[in-house]
Amino acid sequence: MAPSARSLGSRVYENLLLREIDDGPAHVAVIQDGNRRYAEKRGAETTDGHRAGAQTTERVLDWCEELGIEELTLYAFSTENLDRPREEREALYDLLCEKLREFADADRVHDGGVSIRALGDLSLLPERVQEAARYAERRTRDYDTFVLNIALAYGGRAELLGVARDVAGAVESGELASEEIDAGTIDCRLYDDEVRDVDLIIRTGGDERTSNFLPWHANGNEAAVFFCAPYWPEFSKIDFLRAVRTYQHREASWQNTKTQRALALVGALSDVDLPQARDVLDGNADGESDPARETAAPIEQ
């Protein structure tokens, strides 16, 4: 197929996907995999792959703004990256410092009200990276239109283990009673600022695993997951729109399941009164009423 025809076909498909999307996710998390393999495929230096990936990141920010997505989390540097060769690590550190400061000073960030936050154990990183992350957070801390989380030296298991130790210490010291521990206890100890539950995880590069990325916010929310073959530098707007469509279809399927469940329950009603039926629908197996549900319109038989 000629390049012009291929380009036209891509634009048509892109427009089709845009028309199919009417209710996108609020929080998207991305595992940016494949920078090194992208470089190897082209016979280029590894650093060239990482720089090409950084350009994709900037395009994804545009796509999020276009679709009204409110929060984006990027898995920029995992704890496993600390085991890479020193030369590659140093090049990554330099790129992180450059991009963090560049984003923090960019007009598009300030005009768009973007708040940049760093997640992870930054103490594992060189001081120059820590300072660049602090600089980006300081420069954008007053914004709340869009949140950009950068996961640095991040590991999901380590994160939850740290919170577990913190909670155990609080109980042991008497600061916290064990019966007071709930989801909010974990939330407030994970990050300084609130992080929305993840609606959609995207992983590029062909691997079909989520690598313990944001386990508390993603798995607990049963986030939709989209795996795709393109390496991160190759990730296109069509790939992104297909990911969002996957989320939308998953949500529609879930809503349909709830509707079918409701219809089946109503059809099976005999001596069970409707308030009890509503409790079953809401998952209140203990029979406790839901005040919000009690004010809803009655189910029509």
Residue 261 has pLDDT above 70, yes or no: no
Question: Binding site annotation covers 33?
Answer: yes
Q: How confident is the model at residue 290 (pLDDT cuts 50, 70, 90)?
A: very low
Q: 148-201: per-residue pLDDT in tens?
A: 999 999 988 888 888 889 899 999 998 988 888 988 888 888 877 788 899 999
* pTM, rounded to two decimals: 0.79
DSSP string covering 8-54: HHHHHHHHHHHHH-SS--SEEEEE---HHHHHHHTT--HHHHHHHHH
Q: 69-114: per-residue pLDDT in tens?
A: 999 999 999 998 999 999 999 999 999 999 999 999 999 999 999 9
Structural domains of the chain, with CATH: 24-252 (3.40.1180.10), 256-294 (no CATH)
Task: Out of 15, 22, 81, 182, pick the active-site residue.
Answer: 81
Q: 212-232: per-residue pLDDT in tens?
A: 898 888 876 688 999 999 999
- Pure H helices in the chain: 3-20, 35-41, 46-67, 86-105, 107-111, 127-140, 156-172, 183-190, 215-218, 237-268, 274-281, 291-294
Task: Out of 15, 22, 23, 33, pick the active-site residue.
Answer: 33
Residue 118 · residue 133 · CB < 8 Å: yes
Which residue bears the tokens 């980006």? 136
Question: Binding site annotation covers 222?
Answer: yes
Mark whether 33 is an active-site residue. Answer: yes
Mark whether 273 is an active-site residue. Answer: no
Question: Binding site annotation covers 138?
Answer: no
Question: Binding site annotation covers 209?
Answer: yes
Q: How confident is the model at residue 300 (pLDDT cuts 50, 70, 90)?
A: very low
Instruction: Provide the pLDDT for residue 301.
Output: 32
